[in-house]
Amino acid sequence: MAYVTGLPIGSTSDEAPVSPFDEISRNQWAELAKSSTSPLTEAEIEKIRGLGDFLDMAEVSDIYLPLSQLLNLYVTQTQELHAASDAFLNRTNKRIPFIIGVAGSVAVGKSTVSRLLKELLSRWPSTPTVALVTTDGFLHPNSVLEQRGLMERKGFPESYDRLALLKFVADIKSGQDEVSAPLYSHLTYDIVPGENIVVSSPDVVIIEGLNVLQPPALGQEVALSDYFDFKIYVDAPTEEIESWYLDRFQALRESAFRDPASYFHRYAEMDETIALDRAKEIWRTINLTNLMENIISTKSRATLVLQKGEKHRVERVLLRKI
């Protein structure tokens, strides 16, 4: 089972590999939190688990509890650095939210990772208020995408209002008390007109999306990830992600797609074989293409990479060297 690289994470030459990451096995990583117990119950984990994702108490304890401890350490040290910097510059110390970016392919499980980290981090005394925002709200409305011929490239970098997203995160990082983001509906597959998500003075903000670790867009000097304090990339072999995508598609045909208001209602009424063939085509021409052209290359920009294997089980953790 091979992970797609094409990155400066490891050399492909005859020389010894050079990597900016320390590679930590699952067992080694799990040992880091053996003195702690998960603050979440099985019922809470069930609510957090995404459709088709595997997540149990062992996965939370072995992988995500150590990660939440590490993030708590980063938050504490970053707050101290802000205070020291403000003192040096003779400025009033202003509490600035700690921002975490979570990136990865469609169907890789990044939404579940983000929801889980939100719950775990909110249990730490230093970070009781944690907000989670997905970049879906910054997609251009379908009417705009249709006008620009981009409906088949929804989720690609050009389908987002990147300036609005950049301003949103910049406003959070400047310490504004309230910042709002457009609301996106997965039922209608579109922006909800006039509806917003309001982020109010959080300790931590998690920004989750396909392309959140992208370098600056053409003509821009600043990237969204420049405002992040910690960057997570959720990784898996492409054949596994495709399998998860198709499994989720099948599950949605039996659930959300049955709602007549769903944008994808037609797939619930379609012959199963025809619907599955269409799902494979969507994966190959849109989601896999986006992964290979835009997303996979951002892995090298991460602070930490979660490498998954079968059933969404994390096998290795790559942590950027300090």
CA 119 to CA 277: how far, in whole Å? 37
Residue 180 dihedral angles phi and psi, to the nearest 5°:
-120, 150
Radius of gyration of the chain (CA): 20
Contacts of residues 44-47 at CB distance under 8 Å and 24 or more positions apart, as own/partner, are 44/119, 45/116
Return per-residue pLDDT of the chain as tens, 322 residues.
566 654 445 444 455 568 899 999 999 999 998 777 778 888 899 889 877 778 889 999 999 999 999 999 999 999 999 999 999 999 887 889 999 999 999 999 999 999 999 999 999 988 899 999 999 999 999 999 999 999 999 999 999 999 999 999 999 999 999 999 999 999 999 999 999 999 998 999 999 999 999 998 777 889 999 999 999 999 999 999 999 999 999 999 999 999 999 999 999 999 999 999 999 999 999 999 999 999 999 999 999 999 999 999 999 999 999 8
Q: Which two tokens stand for residue 173?
A: 């990082």
Q: Based on the number of CB atoms within 10 Å of its own CB, is 141 exposed (0-12), middle (13-18) or buried (19 or more)? A: middle
The pTM assigned to this predicted structure is 0.93
**Which domains are present in the chain?**
21-320 (3.40.50.300)
